[in-house]
Copies of this chain bind each other. A is one copy, B any other.
């Protein structure tokens, strides 16, 4: 593998560990826990893994440990730092006993089911230390949910003498990790299951989890690009840049990037939903910022848009819901078939409620057509095909044309469009993510060594220097409640959306009018690994604001 100069230099970085993990540990256990909601139902579903105590590790006398064999799985979308979780876990199990082994299952949870795996060695791990990506073993989106998968898994785990499995994933994958932990515990299979909180979206966090890994690096990479675009925007002074940021549900990425770069406009889906705004409200809000800046002679600006925005607008959510319903054949549960596109559109118009039809007809014609026609294999509207950044800029242009005729807008409006996602999911981890992930992985080995299952590896107090970080574990059931998913009640980890009364949003809301009118751009620049600590070792603004409370 040919490497860049930075890859070579960065390979030598030794990630920092909390002091408590730098030698042998003892697990200090708290009181029994409860799930965040639906306690009785969760308890009934997880009789063996419910109510366990929160665990915190403290330094202890070193003691001999038998070798252990551990397996690891990368589940779902890529996030910077996954390789460091693995190298931390590898170093952790080797520190327990040098004859311990670590196996990686290939291309996600499917690797466990299909018995595809590799055994890690020093040389193999060293190739991937402090690098981005999940390419060390690949990832996949197979969901571990079925008994036959669990049974297929136990065969290979037994064959390899694996006593514990670490699953790196988001809210769904960690929920499934807990289901698996419960199943193996109930069957007394003697295999522990530990989860690790991953997702660039930042929506896996709660009282126990400060942040999901990868969020820091991804947001810093996007903010580098937004800052560069803002500098261009402020130099050329002739374009509005509409920048969409990956993340289908929560707007944490957009909010964090706004805190780092101070754009003129940043839309927060959760606020739009809470205020019951219409698409026209959103368009009007942007157009007002454009008009206000134009009045000052500034015919340029930036708009940050969370990818999932469109589905948070209540009227559009309702429309999509009805489209999904009427275009599915109730008899088969599959997409209805039509003789022609025109026939399909006519069917939609005749079967949509008046208010939904009005919303549909308020959209630009091609977007309305696309919503009516394009379906995924399950017959659902393909919302992800809508280029929200272009839709918004076109509608803003139309509104400004109208205002111009009315004498309410005197400037010029021209737009450029960007969508950032893949650019940041596999960036090499920042120092924060490199240290955090290595600690999460190393810590997982201690949860295994102390016999835990159904726990998530947790590192807290990460706004302090790494030596002071707090390491431990939290029973996954503690973070669960019951939610309706695909028409059935399921135990799930509650997804953390942007809280409108949280410190990050409140800070943003207090500043945004100033940022809209003035040109208050900040240019974060690229992630630095070797410079002064205030440049290289800062956490996200979101986390700093949350922890400052």
Interface residues of A, Cβ cutoff 8 Å to B: 2-7, 9-10, 77-78, 107, 131-135, 138-139, 221, 224-225, 227-229, 231-237, 241, 260, 262, 416, 418, 422-428, 520, 522-532, 534-535, 538
Contact = CB atoms under 8 A, between A and B. Distances in A.
12 contacts: A3-B522, A4-B260, A78-B236, A133-B231, A133-B232, A133-B234, A229-B426, A231-B426, A427-B526, A526-B526, A530-B531, A530-B535
Contact of A241 (B2, B234, B422, B427): B422
A134 B5 CA distance: 30
A235 B525 contact: no
A237 B138 contact: yes
Contact of A4 (B5, B135, B525): B525
Contacts of A522: 2-4, 7
A152 to B, nearest CB: 22
Which one of A131, A139, A231, A428 has the greatest number of beta carbons of chain B within 10 Å? A231
Nearest to A530: B531
A135 B298 CA distance: 13
A73 to B, nearest CB: 14
Given A5-B535, A235-B78, A527-B526, A228 B424 contact: yes
B135 A423 contact: no
B528 A232 contact: no
Copies per complex of this chain: 2
Contact of A5 (B10, B131, B231, B534): B534
Contact of A232 (B3, B422, B531): B422
A427 B221 contact: no
Contacts of A524: 4, 6
A232 B520 CA distance: 33
A5 B260 CA distance: 11
Nearest to A262: B2
A236 B135 CA distance: 8
A504 to B, nearest CB: 17
A77 B5 CA distance: 30
Nearest to A233: B422
Contacts of A10: 525
Nearest to A531: B530
B9 A532 contact: yes
B235 A422 contact: no
A529 B526 CA distance: 9
Given A527-B526, A528-B528, A235 B4 contact: no
A422 B262 CA distance: 18
Contacts of A428: 523, 525-526
A525 B139 CA distance: 21
B423 A225 contact: yes
Contacts of A228: 132, 221, 422-427
Contacts of A7: 522-523, 525
